[in-house]
Amino acid sequence: MNQGTRELAPGPARPAVNITPLATVERERRLPRPGQVRVAEGRDVNFADVVAATPRRHHIMILDIAQSLGLPPKVARQALRVRAKDRVEQGDVLAEHRRGPFRRRVVAPQRGRVLGVDAQARLLLRIGMEWDEVRAGLNGQVVRVLEPWGVVVRAEGSYIEGIWGNGQVAAGLLRPLTARRSAPVDEEDLGLEHRGVVGVAGYCLDPRVLDRAEELSFRGLVVGGLGHACLERARRAPFPVLVTDGFGPVPMSEEAFRLLTSAEGRSAVVLAEPWDQVNGARPCVMLDLPHISQAERVLPAEQLLAGQTVRVLHAARPGLVGTLLTSQPRWERLPNGLKALVVDVRLRSGQRMAVPIVNIEILR
């Protein structure tokens, strides 16, 4: 170490909000309970491909074969044309009996699966199966199979993480709706030229914008801030809605707005699933790129280091971004009287402030 310099030990790990022009991302795609993985390792997948599924609900139909054929149960069982676990379509023959020139049949009333037949020749048919499905969410490759839960998908491209999503996933061409990151989008801003796009705006406070976006068959809406009056409408939207920075009139961060608006006309996948704070997986926008050798690996958390760009979570002043001046936190008494570990941050405005580390997110 050179004289006059000192080496700083890294501070504690904090959540990282990734906004990266060239990124390699690995995302776990998991079922809510064990099920069936439907893709193999090494498979290329589209964002909409179903990679795993698990049964959610089904109905059982009981068909009395003996009664339908007018036979004793033992003879009726011999007339069966299907076995347990067979899949059948509507109209398929389940049992058949011939007596001279006469023939009787029992056919499947619906598509289903044979579960078995009891001693009384009553056939159990499972019908109306409903599934919980997990889609790939990104355009990429399956790099690991997590049997029986799901898979890990790896993707490359420009990558922007957010803080809230309405649970939808779709893809479309990016189109800015506002010229500035601090401007609200209005219903009048959306015309026929925006049909089928992924819209990008500073923030949205008017639920009528979401109504108009649905009329125009939007493929997604990405905003810096979302008004509380829009929240319920956004949850019901048939397209993904992703919030990058906060709730209320919160501008989109400079980094995210610049990256999204400079990519106008490019295809983007909006994976607006809720933020999983346990695994660190955030809702995100991914712009496909050809294979990139210098891509930066995305991490859900990392160590605090001096010089990092950070976002300050401040209720009264949302959207604050600055540079971390110190990586080692210190104890300090806050204006509310509580003591907390704080670090020093220089805001973009030049103001220096001490911020509790629990209110720090790293912008990458």
> pLDDT of 75-134, one tens digit each?
999 999 999 999 999 999 999 999 878 899 999 999 999 999 999 999 999 987 788 999
The residue from 116, 131, 146 where one domain ends is: 131
What's the rounded mean pLDDT across residues 67-82? 94
C-alpha span between 251 and 363 (Å, rounded): 15
CB 113 within 8 A of CB 87: yes
Same domain, residue pair 358 and 284: no
Q: What is the pLDDT of residue 137?
A: 96
Model confidence at 281, pLDDT cuts 50, 70, 90, reads: confident
What's the rounded mean pLDDT across residues 60-87? 94
- Cα→Cα distances 74→61, 67, 78, Å: 21, 12, 7
Model confidence at 304, pLDDT cuts 50, 70, 90, reads: confident
Same domain, residue pair 310 and 194: no
Per the structure, the count of domains in the chain is 3
Same domain, residue pair 107 and 220: no
- Share the mean pLDDT of the chain: 89
How large a percentage of the chain has pLDDT more than 90? 66
Same domain, residue pair 281 and 188: yes
Domain of residue 204, CATH code: 3.50.30.10
Average the pLDDT over each of 112-126, 172-186, 214-228, 308-322 and give the range with the smallest value: 308-322
Model confidence at 31, pLDDT cuts 50, 70, 90, reads: very high
Q: What is the pLDDT of residue 171?
A: 97
Residue 261 lies in a domain: yes
What's the rounded mean pLDDT across residues 137-153? 96
- Tell me the residue length of the chain: 364
What's the rounded mean pLDDT across residues 3-27? 72
pTM of the model: 0.75
Q: What is the pLDDT of residue 290?
A: 61
Q: What is the pLDDT of residue 131?
A: 85
Q: Does residue 4 register a pLDDT over 50?
A: no
Q: What is the pLDDT of residue 1?
A: 39
- Output the CA torsion sign for 31, 33, 38, 43: positive
Residue 31 lies in a domain: no
The residue from 131, 164, 190 where one domain ends is: 131
C-alpha span between 66 and 170 (Å, rounded): 51
Domain of residue 115, CATH code: 2.40.50
Residue 165 lies in a domain: yes
Contacts of 264 (CB under 8 A, 6+ apart): 174, 175, 176
Range of the domain at 69: 57-131
CB 130 within 8 A of CB 81: no
Same domain, residue pair 196 and 289: yes
Residue 146 lies in a domain: no
Burial class (CB in 10 A: 0-12, 13-18, 19+), 154: middle
Same domain, residue pair 159 and 287: yes
Domain of residue 357, CATH code: 2.30.30.30
Q: Is 319 left (phi over 0), alpha (psi -120 to 50) or beta?
A: left
